[in-house]
């Protein structure tokens, strides 16, 4: 209720209206259900069991990979096992980029010594020639720096070394302030006449694991290979460059793109008892990068969506409107699943909201709502989430997979979580199920169950 301290209780009672009384009753009802849901989520620990199983039984889940195909079956089987309604695959054709067998990075010292640096191809990169690329490294912190180099960039490996700003309180803002180097570095490097792009990993932590991630080319610009370098590797290169002598680097990548592959979004639901045609989507993306196990990104979101339905079903809660769990395919390098889901004809159906969990399996803080009308209606439910400190219901939110739905007018929502550790793991070998805490994961699933149930009951 967020009753302010400067209003007396008597004043509050005088101003409260009949709808407000009804709302108080609803809040009490949902608060009681929410406590049962949280208790079951924490007590059963099913989300973490699923996470461990998914992360260890399929291998990585990069779009088009055997692991992704296995994960599709895993998800369908899991939802059938729990007895969800209308469990099905919805076909999606996905790109199939592969890293290939070779990734090598060496500093070539004048002495002849080769010093290894930890690099990995960015997702979508072309290979280097089989003999690799050997060139002098030029460090820049921005595209402006690069443009200012003029001819000095020609024939070089451009080393984009602007760190994520660790002093920002919100890590996603720090990511947003650095990720242009990864997404467009190869394009800008090629425009400047360079032979390759090397990008400092998107993490605030100093470690020796390179963090991959999506990058792009444009048709009009020559393609050059692009790799991430670990932050320790980046610091090493920067230190050598600061000594003022030329630094030569050898890079070899075998990445390439294969023909598209047939894959699927995986869908299951609790069918609404009164208005089944009105649908609340909850989900995450089933694909991952091919580093680590994609546990936080985004096996967590997928198992939370399944767990949310399981929690409701286990507690005998039958929503008036349909709640649908969707494991989207190909968020990382194409968004084909999110696009296909939104484009599919669904006669008679109306999506009333979509909630994505794709910020890691961390302690939930609340929800971000990317539609001001929906936010204004939903913020009243914050008190239901306050007993487990997940009551921040903020304006602004959504998710990549549900953005095509949002473009069609469906209010998008994100599960907001504590993001301080996210980029320690993101897109790297660090992102394993052991990096997820079982309680934090379970509470996120509970939060999704609670809010999707309230929306399915109350409408929007």
Helix (H) or strand (E) holding 321: strand 321-328
Residue with token string 């009681």: 32
Among 26, 31, 45, 90, which residue interacts with a second copy (rule: CB under 8 A)? 45
In sequence order, the 6+-apart residues with CB closer than 8 A to the CB of 358 are 284, 285, 297, 298, 301, 331, 399, 400, 401, 414
Q: Is 389 in the site for a second copy (CB under 8 A)?
A: yes
Angstrom distance (rounded) from CA 242 to CA 442:
47
Angstrom distance (rounded) from CA 402 to CA 89:
17
Among 443, 445, 450, 454, which residue interacts with a second copy (rule: CB under 8 A)? 443
Q: Report 334-363 residues binding a second copy (CB under 8 A).
A: 363
In sequence order, the 6+-apart residues with CB closer than 8 A to the CB of 258 are 64, 96, 97, 98
Q: Which is nearer to a second copy, 90 or 207 (CB)?
A: 207
In sequence order, the 6+-apart residues with CB closer than 8 A to the CB of 312 are 37, 270, 319, 323, 449, 452, 453
Peptide bond into 212 cis (omega under 30): no
DSSP 126: P
Q: Which is nearer to a second copy, 43 or 259 (CB)?
A: 43
Can you name the residues that pair with 325 across neighbouring β-strands? 268, 282
Q: Which is nearer to a second copy, 171 or 265 (CB)?
A: 171
Among 173, 218, 376, 395, which residue interacts with a second copy (rule: CB under 8 A)? 376
Residue 412 structure tokens = 């998008």
Among 14, 43, 151, 220, which residue interacts with a second copy (rule: CB under 8 A)? 43
Among 27, 40, 278, 327, which residue interacts with a second copy (rule: CB under 8 A)? 40
Rg of the chain (C-alpha set): 24
Q: Is 377 in the site for a second copy (CB under 8 A)?
A: no
Q: Is 424 in the site for a second copy (CB under 8 A)?
A: yes
Q: Which stretch binds a second copy (CB under 8 A): 98-106, 113-121, 137-145, 387-395?
A: 387-395
Residue 271 structure tokens = 């069918």
Q: Is 392 in the site for a second copy (CB under 8 A)?
A: yes
Distance, CA of 379 to chain centre: 24
Q: Which stretch binds a second copy (CB under 8 A): 2-10, 251-259, 309-317, 400-408?
A: 2-10
Among 182, 191, 291, 365, which residue interacts with a second copy (rule: CB under 8 A)? 365
Q: Is 418 in the site for a second copy (CB under 8 A)?
A: yes
Answer whether 305's CB lies under 8 Å from 77's CB. no
Among 27, 33, 38, 450, which residue interacts with a second copy (rule: CB under 8 A)? 38
Q: Is 426 in the site for a second copy (CB under 8 A)?
A: no
Binding mask 182-221 for a second copy (x = CB under 8 A): ----------------------xx----------------
In sequence order, the 6+-apart residues with CB closer than 8 A to the CB of 127 are 100, 225, 253, 254, 255, 256
Binding mask 143-182 for a second copy (x = CB under 8 A): -----------------------xxxx-x-----------
Q: Which is nearer to a second copy, 1 or 218 (CB)?
A: 1
Q: Is 420 in the site for a second copy (CB under 8 A)?
A: yes
Q: Which is nearer to a second copy, 18 or 131 (CB)?
A: 18
Q: Any catalytic annotation for residue 345?
A: no
Answer whether 92's CB lies under 8 Å from 63's CB. no
Angstrom distance (rounded) from CA 272 to CA 97:
39
Q: Is 437 in the site for a second copy (CB under 8 A)?
A: yes
* Catalytic site residue from 139, 331, 332, 457: 331
Angstrom distance (rounded) from CA 383 to CA 386:
5
Q: Is 21 in the site for a second copy (CB under 8 A)?
A: no
Residues that bind a second copy (CB under 8 A): 1-6, 15, 20, 38-40, 42-43, 45, 166-169, 171, 204-205, 363, 365, 376, 379-380, 387-389, 392, 418, 420-421, 424, 437-440, 443
Residues with catalytic roles: 331
């Amino acid at each position: 209720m967020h009753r302010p301290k400067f209003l007396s209780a008597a004043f509050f009672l005088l101003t409260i209206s009949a709808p407000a009384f009804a709302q108080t009753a609803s809040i009490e009802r949902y608060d009681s259900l929410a406590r049962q849901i949280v208790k079951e989520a924490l007590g059963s620990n099913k989300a973490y069991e699923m996470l461990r199983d998914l992360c260890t039984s399929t291998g990585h889940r990069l779009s088009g990979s055997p692991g992704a195909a296995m994960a599709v079956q895993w998800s369908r089987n899991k939802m059938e096992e729990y007895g969800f309604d209308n469990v099905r695959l919805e076909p999606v054709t996905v790109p199939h980029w592969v890293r290939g067998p070779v990734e090598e990075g060496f500093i070539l010292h004048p002495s002849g010594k080769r010093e290894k640096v930890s690099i990995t191809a960015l997702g979508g990169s072309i290979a280097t020639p089989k003999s690799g690329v050997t060139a002098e490294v030029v460090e820049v912190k921005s595209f402006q720096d690069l443009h200012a180099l003029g001819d000095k960039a020609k024939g070089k490996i451009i080393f984009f070394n602007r760190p994520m700003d660790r002093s920002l309180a919100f890590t996603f803002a720090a990511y947003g302030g650095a990720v242009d180097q990864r997404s467009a570095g190869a394009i800008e490097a090629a425009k400047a006449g360079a032979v390759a792009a090397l990008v400092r990993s998107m993490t605030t932590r100093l470690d020796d694991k390179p963090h991959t991630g999506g990058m792009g080319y444009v048709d009009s610009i020559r393609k050059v290979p692009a790799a991430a370098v670990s932050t320790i590797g980046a610091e090493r290169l920067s230190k050598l460059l600061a000594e003022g002598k030329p630094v030569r680097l050898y890079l070899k990548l075998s990445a390439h793109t294969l023909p598209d592959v047939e894959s699927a979004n995986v869908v299951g639901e609790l069918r609404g008892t009164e208005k089944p045609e009105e649908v609340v989507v909850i989900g995450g993306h089933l694909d991952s990068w091919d580093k680590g196990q994609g546990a936080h990104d985004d096996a967590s979101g997928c198992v939370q969506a399944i767990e949310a339905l399981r929690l409701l079903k286990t507690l005998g809660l039958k929503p008036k409107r349909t709640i649908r769990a969707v494991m989207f395919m190909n968020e990382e390098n194409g968004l084909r699943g999110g696009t296909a889901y939104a484009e599919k004809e669904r006669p008679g159906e109306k999506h009333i909201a979509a909630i994505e969990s794709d910020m890691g399996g961390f302690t939930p803080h609340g929800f971000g709502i990317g539609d001001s009308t929906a936010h204004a209606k939903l913020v009243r439910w914050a008190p239901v989430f306050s007993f487990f400190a997940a009551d921040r219901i903020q304006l602004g939110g959504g998710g990549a997979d549900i953005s095509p739905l949002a473009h069609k007018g469906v209010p998008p929502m994100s599960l907001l979580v504590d993001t301080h550790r996210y980029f320690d793991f993101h897109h790297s070998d660090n992102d394993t199920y052991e990096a997820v805490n079982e309680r934090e994961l379970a509470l996120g699933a509970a939060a999704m169950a609670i809010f999707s149930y309230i929306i399915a009951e109350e409408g929007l």
